[in-house]
Amino acid sequence: MNEIWLRFLNGADVDSLAIGPDDAIAAIEDVVAAHGRGETVFEPRTHLVPDNGGAGHFNILRGHVTPLGMSGVKVVGDFVPNYQRGLPSELAMLTLYDPQTGVPLAILDATWITEMRTGAMTAVGAKHLARPDSRILGHVGARGTAFANVTLLDRLFPLEEIRVTSRRPESREAFAEQLRAATDTPVRVVATADEVYDGADILVEATRLQEPQPLLRTAAVRPGAFVVPYGTISAVELDLLDVMDKVVVDDWREAQAGRFGALRAHVDTGRLTEQSLYAQLGEIVSGRKPGRERDDERILFWHRGLSILDIALGHLILRRAEAAGTGTMLRYR
């Protein structure tokens, strides 16, 4: 029997490859287009909620990307109190497989992947759905994915101001300092979500609430705005969709799955249905439906995080690691 070896890439290995944001955005846009063409296979995520007093839960994502010839499974924790232990709230591991034989190819620390693919998906959505002249970005939440959200949007738009806030003052101040080190765009820290969203062109909600609370209010969404709510627990008002000209999701099956998600109540109460939905983003990126058609359109994009995004970035990392000889080879059998 032939020996089987796989490549293990820890966090330092992944960082050493220095995957650039433009490469990440391109990989995500390509796989979203593949989804729109029906060239991906995946099941909606499942949740494992341990008996841990509400400390957090695991998300399990499984998928296959035909053009890449790769399948994968990611397990990512969502543990909000981890900051008290000096740990990221989201720690992830991705395993990649040959879809023709089932042979495991790699094990990766997918924490960076989770952060980058989320920010890149926000950016790809904005590229097709936000006004090109968007000037003010309002971002609520300083979670691990927040930095990628803001910095990738800053690359795509002529922003004149970035406004940020989060629940803990020390968190939002640290987030702002991190952003100021990465961009010349002015970053303003404010105390409330209302201040963040007032007059913003792009409104991102990435909070970590313990229970629903309306932070992104319907009245804050002005004509021409692009809205991205993707917090685990709803932080939007129930009538938010009433003012939207278009509602776009990453995948409609994913939008209906699980007990979490920013628009969970809207789906469960019938305010968002397959009939009222405008499109899945892949339909727009692949050219099957138009994205933004007027400057005054209010457009909402809800992305929950698809396994195929993880596989796309995992594939990119694995190929770069193979070329560079990075990582540790482990004998599987």
Residue 25 has what pLDDT?
97
Residue 101's identity, in one-letter code, is T
Label residue 102 left, alpha or beta by phi (over 0 means left) and psi (-120 to 50 means alpha): left
Coil/strand/helix, residue 203: strand
Name residue, tokens 């409609």: 252
Mean pLDDT of 197-209: 90
- What tens digit of pLDDT does each residue of 171-198 get? 999 999 999 999 999 999 999 999 999 9
Q: Are 320 and 76 spatial neighbours (Cβ–Cβ below 8 Å)?
A: no
Residue 329 has what pLDDT?
98
- Assign 231 a pLDDT band (cuts: 50, 70, 90): confident
Backbone angles phi, psi at 174, to 5 degrees: -65, -40
Mean pLDDT of 22-43: 97
Q: Does domain 118-305 have CATH number 3.40.50.720?
A: yes
List helix spans (H) across 75-110.
none
Checking if the pLDDT of 211 tops 80, the result is no
- What tens digit of pLDDT does each residue of 89-135 get? 889 999 999 999 999 999 999 999 999 999 999 999 999 999 999 99
- What tens digit of pLDDT does each residue of 55-70 get? 999 999 999 999 999 9
Q: Are 149 and 226 spatial neighbours (Cβ–Cβ below 8 Å)?
A: no
Least confident of 79-83, 221-225, 318-322: 79-83
Run of H or E residues at 229: strand 226-229
pTM: 0.92
The residue extents of the domains of the chain are: 5-113+308-331, 118-305
Instruction: Decide the pairing of beta strands 279-280 and 187-189.
Output: unpaired
In CATH terms, are 5-113+308-331 and 118-305 the same topology?
A: no
The Cα–Cα gap between 245 and 257 comes to 24
CA pseudo-torsion sign 45, 51, 54, 55: negative
Which numeric CATH code is attached to 5-113+308-331? 3.30.1780.10
CA pseudo-torsion sign 209, 228, 313, 102: positive
Residue 74 has what pLDDT?
98
Contacts of 268 (CB under 8 A, 6+ apart): none
* Residues forming beta bridges with residue 139, ordered by sequence position: 164, 204
- Assign 137 a pLDDT band (cuts: 50, 70, 90): very high
